[in-house]
Structure formats: C-alpha cells, structure tokens
Amino acid sequence: MRKGRTYLKANDQVEVIAGKDKGRVGKVLKVFPASDKATVERINMIKRHTKPRDASQQGQIVEREAPIHVSNLQMICPECTQTGRIGKKILEDGTKVRYCKKCGESIESK
C-alpha cells in the first residue's frame, strides 16, 4: 500500500486483525493518510500523564486512543456484516464508490 492511499473513512466499522486488540470491533474516528494510520474508538488505548495547567488544577492520567496502522484493520461490510477486502469502482454516472469484494454491494459511510 502506498503512502496516502487508504480505503478507510471516518465512521466505518472495522475489526482489528493483528496486534494486542485482535478480534475487537470499533468505529473509525479519524484517518491519517500521510502515515497510513487511523484512530479507532476504544482500540489501542494508551495512558498520558498530563501536568497541571495552573496552580488550582491537578495533574492527571488521561486514557485515550492511539493511532493504529491501517494494515492491522479490516473493514466490516454494512450489507453482508462480514469482514472483507474493499475495492473502488466508477459508476455509470461518474461517481467513485467503494464496494465489498465478497458481496459486491457498494459501501457508503453512514
């Protein structure tokens, strides 16, 4: 996969196929095409220690999602509800759409 080319978009349902969260399902929050990574809801959680911003505030440990490489994610088709590869095609009216290679249905982000 070339840099900057990803088939994922925000709000897509994906399953993690490799790594510590293998088998878990989540929604894509943000895609970073330059680094081929995506942030997925409640997947790849990390802890960040934050300093207090002023004297009245306390320091704390914040838990948040870290980006995960798109090669470790596989999209779930909303039509056939299975994970599978995604293709791109151009329709007769000239619009580009993503489609599921298992069932052949077009995929549109909700």
Calculate ∠ Cα 86-92-97, nearest 5°. 25
Instruction: Give residue 109's pLDDT.
Output: 54
Domain residue extents for the chain: 13-51+59-107
- In sequence order, what E strands does 1-110 have? 13-16, 25-32, 37-40, 45-50, 60-65, 68-69, 73-75, 86-90, 96-100, 106-107
Instruction: Give residue 52's pLDDT.
Output: 94
- Which residue is listed with tokens 């052949």? 104
Indicate whether 110 pLDDT > 50: no
What is the mean predicted confidence (pLDDT) over 40-44?
Answer: 97
d(CA 99, CA 34): 23
Domain 13-51+59-107 has CATH 2.30.30.30: yes
Mean pLDDT rounded to a whole number for the chain:
93
pLDDT digits (tens, 9 = 90+) for 16-27: 999 999 999 999
pLDDT band at residue 1 under the 50/70/90 scheme:
low
d(CA 81, CA 35): 28
Q: pTM higher than 0.85 for the full model?
A: yes
What is the mean predicted confidence (pLDDT) over 88-105?
Answer: 93
